[in-house]
Structure 1
Amino acid sequence: MSAFERTYTVRWADMDPNGHMRHSAYADYAAQHRIEYLSANGFTLPYFAKAGLGPILFREDTRFLKELHINEQLRVTGELAGLSADGSRWNIVHTLYKPDGRPAATVSVEGAWLDLRTRKLTVPPADITALMGQLPRHASYKDMVRGGGGE
């Protein structure tokens, strides 16, 4: 699949007292990108509510490379860094780009799917696993193996 990209404008609410985008706003744009990818492919928030399913994060790591400033256009991409065979676990690397194309940050997330009724980890429907597998592969991509932990 070709890259799924979105462009946003850095807002006043994203700013910190140093005059650049606050650290947590980078994660907010990465999360927005993931939700828009799912939604653009038919997996909207109402779908997830009805299915009793939701994505959750285990880890989020942000690497800050260049400052972003108010009213700058920011382009966000997402690449798959890992996926378990059953689709229950996934890793995505988001890159946030400055208007000149230089990376401003990377946001790497490790996640899974939660059954919202039982509050336990679950395997998503096959069509969600297929969609996740269509994301472009990040250079660090590795197949994931389920196991261990409190599943």
Structure 2
Amino acid sequence: MNNIFFEGPVMWSQIDANMHMRHSAYADFAAQARLTLLDKVGMDARQFLELHIGPILFREELIYLREVNANDMLRVTCEMTKCRPDGSRWSIRHEIYRKDGTKSAVVNVDGAWIDTKQRKLVGLSTEMMEKFKAIPRSEDFTETAS
């Protein structure tokens, strides 16, 4: 399994009344994996604050495949599936696996960058784009039109 950006246990607070992981916890695990991914390519939260930009999501799709229970250890992968040449819009696919290797869910997100002062969408600077290009790309990656 490649491109693992988060590994950790399912906590009691992430369990629902049916005694399996609640729906929104899948999105939380994917979000944590994305933050780790950005940090590993050199795009940490401090830089975003200094540059007054941040990632935003337009769409988040969760596809549930297998049940996840309390104390299961999860591994979350991240791969970019689409991106504009300037990095202004992008899509990332996460796959969530139990420790035994069972794929439990797929989380697809479509996002962009926002200028946090002007509240408008922006592309990335040349320096940040070089870092963003280091994100692992899926086998079905496509570059989308500007």
Alignment of 1:2-151 (within 5 A): 3-146=3-146
Measure how far apart 1:24 and its partner are. Answer: 0.6
Q: Which amino acid aligns with 1:8?
A: G
CA 1:107–1:75: 2 relative to 1, 3 Å: same
Please give the per-residue CA displacement for 1:74-96, whole angstroms capped at 9, x wherever unaligned: 00000110010011111000000
Task: State the TM-score, normalizing by the size of structure 2.
Answer: 0.92
Q: Which amino acid aligns with 1:39?
A: D
Please give the per-residue CA displacement for 1:9-57, whole angstroms capped at 9, x wherever unaligned: 1011111101000001101110111111112333222221121000000
Whole-angstrom CA distance in 2 between matches of 1:9 and 1:79: 22
Whole-angstrom CA distance in 1 between matches of 2:45 and 2:135: 20
Q: Which amino acid aligns with 1:77?
A: T
Three-state SS of the structure 1 residue aligned to 2:27 is helix
Task: State the TM-score, normalizing by the size of structure 1.
Answer: 0.89
- In structure 1, stretches of 5+ residues that fail to align are 147-151
Two-structure CA RMSD over aligned residues (Å): 1.5
CA 1:137–1:41: 2 relative to 1, 3 Å: closer
Three-state SS of the structure 2 residue aligned to 1:63 is strand
Three-state SS of the structure 2 residue aligned to 1:29 is helix
Measure how far apart 1:100 and its partner are. Answer: 1.1
Identity of aligned residues (%): 39
